[in-house]
Amino acid sequence: MVRAYGEDYRRARHPSAAQEKVLRHLAACRTAALGGHVDECDACGHVRLSYNSCRDRHCPKCQAGERAAWLAQRLERLLPVPYFHVVFTVPHELNPLVLRNKARIVSILFQAAAATLREIAADPHHLGAEIGFTALLHTWGENLLFHPHLHCVVTGGGLSPDGTRWVPGRERFFLPVRVLGRLFRGKFLAALHHAWTDGDLGLTGSTAELADPVAWSALKDALYRKEWVVHAKPPFGGPEVVFRYLGRYTHRVALSNQRLTEVGNGHVTFTVRDHADHARRKLLTLDAIEFLRRFLLHVLPKRLVRIRHYGLCAGRHVRGKLAVARRHLQPPADAEPMPSPASASSDEPWWVRFRALTGIDMMACPVCLTGRLLRTGPLRAVSTMVPDVRPPPQVHQTTARSRCAFLTVPGARG
């Protein structure tokens, strides 16, 4: 789809440098433009050509391996306690400002949400303990419109201030969401006003009027009067459930290929979940240019970290406070061990980690089902791209069987 309508989008919308880079990467992903390799079954001789991935974090096809590796590294940080899901949402009135200042305002969003959770959890009237949590940035809704918010996975309890015991939370209740929302609103707007005062915000286009102190004060006052949405869902249960949940939300992009149902005649149709109609799945058709515009709204600035850890889960506390918390939560010696999700060592091949975490063996032969696919040679990258056709790869140092099989690949030219 990007190869078909990318040039039309460039002429109509003039993408930024970051958006242009994403368009180039997605168009070349898993094509001969990036090269690849040849895998051959050691039992039946079946040959598979695999093109290299673009590895762009905005690509819907290049995140599975990264997600599996990330989850494998995070398993050791899970505690045997219930986990809550807390969502912090920024009011839509701020969307134009966020779009023009993504790095600065996303940083404010993370800082305000983290400070809110830690401050209220530390209050003796609520929990009186230090919690641990992971925050994940999302900037989209089901219809791909800009909707910045944070998903936070929070421990159901925390370590006491003196570190001598684990303080459990309530069974079905985390923290009061109205208190969370108001404190989050105050912290966020205070930091945002500080950035405006220091001249750290880019005020151009539709936000140019906010350079006027009167207009800025009017927006700020309106946002203070508004109730900000913080939603806390029931606890997940245990580490195994958290593991499955994190797998859905980490390294996720605005739209997966599975949601696309039709592309052609200048339009794109994809599925959306209508929350106003009992979350039923429906079809949404957009002009191809509008679809690309919405997709590219979610391109993140370079080096912006969208998954961050706080409290007990912060990197500097893994061997200290988190280890202490785990010792306090150790079950009795005669208790049945808690099940843990499958893992794999980070120094093992990618396909071993992927199989351990997903159950899918990428190196099993799909034809004979008994052999293993072994790498036999590289495919040289082709520098020129035909918009809608994958150019033929160049095979080097392969067996005669591999060369013959390549020539019969459907769609190959030459």
> What would the pLDDT profile of 331-354 be if each residue is shown by its tens digit?
655 444 444 444 445 567 767 767
Of residues 392 and 382, more confidence is placed in 382
Identify the band that residue 235 occupies on the pLDDT scale cut at 50, 70 and 90: confident
Q: Cβ contacts of residue 408 below 8 Å, gap of 6+?
A: none
Identify the band that residue 59 occupies on the pLDDT scale cut at 50, 70 and 90: confident
pTM of the model: 0.82
Q: Cβ contacts of residue 361 below 8 Å, gap of 6+?
A: 351, 355
**Extents of the domains making up the chain:** 79-252+306-328
Average pLDDT score over residue span 298-305: 90
- Give the C-alpha separation, 311 to 198, whole Å: 29
Mean pLDDT computed over every residue of the chain: 83
In Å, how far from its chain's centre is CA 122? 29
The pLDDT, as a whole number, for residue 377 is 81
> What would the pLDDT profile of 161-173 be if each residue is shown by its tens digit?
999 999 998 877 7
pLDDT of 68 > 60? The answer is yes
Percent of the chain with pLDDT over 90: 44
